[in-house]
Amino acid sequence: MTVQDVDRVSFAEEWERWHRAHEQALADPHGFLAITSLRWLSPEPTRFEDAPGAWSSGPEGVVVELADGEELTIDGTAVHGRYVFGAIAERASLYAGYGDAVIEIAKRGGHDIVRPRHPGNPLRTDFTRTPAYAPDPRWVRPGRYLPFDEPRAITVGAVAEGLEHVYDAPGQVEFELDGETFRLTAFNGKRPGTLMVLLTDATSGVTTYAANRSLQIDAPDETGRVTLDFNRATNLPCAYTDLATCPLPPTENRLPVAIEAGEKLPLERGGRP
């Protein structure tokens, strides 16, 4: 076995550990696969079959009116009757316990929503794995971070019809592939200083999910260098369920080349093992 072979084995093993952890988070008892409905709230109190209470959205923010015998648990405390969650920030979520379920209260695209998450949802209990391309070091590309003078508010569409999302973009990420240079608009990542890009490519709608994939990028070094590991391009929740409000990539992030790396179309959407 050569040194190159050993490196490839280690590379694949590290990717497998990362992907296994990613899949476990996806299949969490209260993760996205546990969502049973997506409810758009209005001023009229409305009851839903998979959540207790009558829910509304108005001047006080989100309000639930629990009937006798109904209960939610919020921050470890049982609540009854009328409860005011208040105004919720865009892309923020609050969670209330309901037996073995969790009720997500959130704001997406300027709209207040409720998404019950039940561990017994068949989409979660039947989940096995997500197909993916075999990890290949070729798809680990060096790049350069090009910060904007000031963050730019970027409006993008959503998989939910008529919905829009606005994200602050701190800059772009530039990389080369097969002698061609590409620039992707980057949003803030999960951790301070990190970046996230939404993208599609020539595999989208063929072997990968048509609407989007996401790639997390570690913080740039002092010279602006970054690494784009497309082996870690992941599906967003909308790849698995219609009960998501995922953003679409900016136009410039729709690559004309095939990125044959990362997660493929889920089995739940007709993907192949």
pLDDT at 157 over 80: yes
pLDDT at 134 over 50: yes
In this prediction, residue 272 has a pLDDT band, given cuts at 50, 70 and 90, of confident
Mean pLDDT of the region 224-249: 97
**pLDDT at position 87, please?**
97
What's the pLDDT tens digit per position in 223-234? Answer: 999 999 999 999
Which pair of tokens denotes residue 40?
């758009």
Share of the chain above pLDDT 70, in %: 98
**pLDDT at position 228, please?**
98
**pLDDT at position 7, please?**
86
pLDDT at 105 over 60: yes
What's the pLDDT tens digit per position in 4-38? Answer: 555 889 999 999 999 999 999 999 999 999 999 99
Contacts of 94 (CB under 8 A, 6+ apart): 85, 88, 104, 105, 106
Contacts of 103 (CB under 8 A, 6+ apart): 51, 72, 95, 96, 97, 114, 115, 116, 117
Mean pLDDT of the region 46-75: 98
What's the pLDDT tens digit per position in 84-97? Answer: 999 999 999 999 99
Residue type, 252: E
In this prediction, residue 1 has a pLDDT band, given cuts at 50, 70 and 90, of very low
pLDDT at 186 over 80: yes
Q: Within 13 Å and on the Cβ side, how many CA atoms surround 57?
A: 14
Bridge partner list, 176? 181
Q: Within 13 Å and on the Cβ side, how many CA atoms surround 54?
A: 9
Q: Where are the domains of the chain?
A: 37-117, 129-269
The candidate with the shortest Cα–Cα distance to 137, out of 18, 229, 49, is: 229
pLDDT at 3 over 80: no
**pLDDT at position 66, please?**
98
